[in-house]
Structure 1
Amino acid sequence: MVKVKISEKRNPIPQKVTIEEKTTLTTWGAIKVNKSHFFPSSFQLKIDDKVIYIDPVGIENAEQADYILITHAHPDHFSLKDIKNLLKNETKMICSKGVSKKLGDVKDKVQVVRPNQQLQFEEFSIGTTFAYNTKSVFLWIKAHPKSKENVGYVITLKNGLKVYHTGDTDYISEMEQLSGIDVALVPIGGDNLTMNAEEAAKMVNIIRPKITIPMHYEIKNVEELNRFETLVNERTKIIKLN
């Protein structure tokens, strides 16, 4: 059984990236997955006064959510405890079908999505993307099979700025259809679970985001992080958080 908790190696100060005026991206830093200290896929995106969380796990002393987006049901992405701490009466939740089955008494707040959908809200729109493995963990078994219909998200602001959270995925052909991405949140951990550094760099070099933030990797794996940075085209700014 996977055990997830806050890492004692976490940066004690939440790290905030200003994307543009009144638009910020925040992470609370490392979590501990079994015995691994791990930079997760959990972020807060704040647009003016609207607060969006993507895969909130190990969030501390945070503002309550206007929107919560969950990519899939693995425990390093889905924490019912964190969700309940962030909920208010008006919170809207968007999640894949696997997550909806685990939400218990908060499932009435949920909109279930599949890949390749478009949702329109007053402040922004959300597109869901495919997120799945082409590599197998064992024989034909995949950690994130396409049949699960896990998702990534492209959040598009009124001014056209696009933030892409890939979810857990390998490099897949559907990524090549994305365009105009300004900020990409990209897993580099590999190990038959997600893209490794080379695959992630290939994806970034094709979709050409202005800013890329690597995620979903063991924080001790500095070599993987540095290799990713070396392989990415200089047109993209890499921001490394921890």
Structure 2
Amino acid sequence: MTVTIKRRSALAGFAGFLLSPAAYAQAPAAGKGELQWFGQSAFKLTTPGGKVIMIDPWLTANPKTPAEYKDLDKLGTVDLILVSHGHGDHFGDAVAISKKNGAPVLATAGMGQTLQVLGILTPQMSIRMNKSGTYEAFPGVKITQVHADHSSEMVLKDPATGKDGSYPGGEAVGFIIELENGYKIWHTGDTGLFTDMRFIADYYKPDLLLIPIGGHFVMNPKDAAYATAEWIKPRKVMPMHYGTSPFLRGTPEQFKAALGNAPVEVLAMQPGDKIGL
């Protein structure tokens, strides 16, 4: 399967870790899926059937998101929003995008309950599910929640009082996303190492792994490389969740070095880049 990346000029520093320049010559062919990264853990996934799924859409306040995408209208039509946990750098612009597009937010039961009780989203716009649950969002597109080792409190404004408060966000999760063509993506969300990563990989067999490397709040490059090489063993891996704060010091170069000779293709992207699936 050929993967192409549309690069921005700022990619020069990662040249040693990316695919050959010829791979960037054209956009994915019609009918192919596409994944665009906006920094941190925020992605726009376009399925082969043309459905658009936003994942952890922290855009307007994200220092790494290109300015053009801080205008949420530039996203075009969005059909569904996935949120891995309640922290602001993941929940982000979920409500604004949902209301702009009439797109439901799919999250854990706990997060959905909080959003509904506060009147932030209606039950129709806040789909509640839980780990091991599978939701067929569109014909041929299946989304399964899996474990992530992290916390999930939410800071939200109570519409009744106008005051910010801390509320339960349910448990943190990752997502196994199976596309119409059978291609599987594991968005791990925010997580530390946990041994059931091996089971999840064996059971769901993801083709592409999206894994945090920043450290402090999530895995550092060494942790992420161990999980990738020893437990998950995907064909392709993309490092994410780094460089947006002084705490997130891990880099793609460190991740690549820690992987050593592991037989996995590393996609070191810059915010705004797209890959074909």
**TM-score > 0.5 by shorter chain:** yes
Q: Distance in 1 between matches of 2:181 and 2:257?
A: 31
Instruction: State the distance in 2 between where 1:117 and 1:72 align.
Output: 16
AA partner of residue 83 (structure 2): I
**1:203 paired to 2:227:** yes
Q: Deviations over 1:41-96 (max 9, x none)?
A: 000110131001101111531122111100011000012x4532354565232112
Select the residue among 77, 80, 91 that pairs with 1:64. 77
Are 1:153 and 2:181 counterparts? no
Structure number with larger C-alpha Rg: 2
Aligned equivalent of 1:241:
269
- Structure with the higher strand share, 1 or 2: 1
Mapped to 1, the partners of 2:29 and 2:173 lie a distance apart of 23
In structure 1, give the amino acid aligned to 2:194. I
State the TM-score, normalized to the length of structure 1.
0.75
| Bigger helix fraction | 2
Query: Runs (4+) of structure 1 moved beyond 4 Å?
Result: 15-21, 86-90, 219-223
Unaligned residue ranges in structure 1 (runs of 5+): 1-10, 29-38, 134-142
Give the structure 2 partner of residue 23 of structure 1: 33
Shift of 1:112: 1.4
**Percent same amino acid among aligned pairs?**
28
Alignment deviations for residues 144-199 of structure 1 (CA, whole Å, 9 cap, x no partner)? 59x942110000123321001001110112211123211111001111x1111111
Go from structure 1 to structure 2 and tell me whether the alpha carbon gap of 1:213 and 1:17 turns closer, same or farther (over 3 Å shift).
farther
Secondary structure of the corresponding residue to residue 85 of structure 1? helix
Structure 2 CA distance for partners of 1:42 and 1:89, relative to 1, 3 Å: closer
Q: TM-score, normalised by structure 2?
A: 0.66
Shift, 1:111, TM fit: 1.3
**Structure 1 residue 174 and structure 2 residue 203: aligned?**
no
Partners of 1:85 and 1:95 in 2: CA distance? 15
Q: Which residue of 1 aligns with 2:147?
A: 130
Q: Are 2:118 and 1:96 equivalent residues in the alignment? A: no
Q: Which has the higher contact order (CA 8 A, sep 6+)?
A: 2
Distance in 1 (CA, whole Å) between partners of 2:97 and 2:80 is 13
- The 1:132/1:144 distance shift into structure 2, 3 A limit, reads farther
1:1-50 Cα distance to aligned partner (Å, 9 max, x none): xxxxxxxxxx6xxx99959961110023xxxxxxxxxx410001101310
- Contact 2:98–2:105 at 8 Å: present in 1 too? no
Shift of 1:216: 0.7
SS at match of 2:181: coil
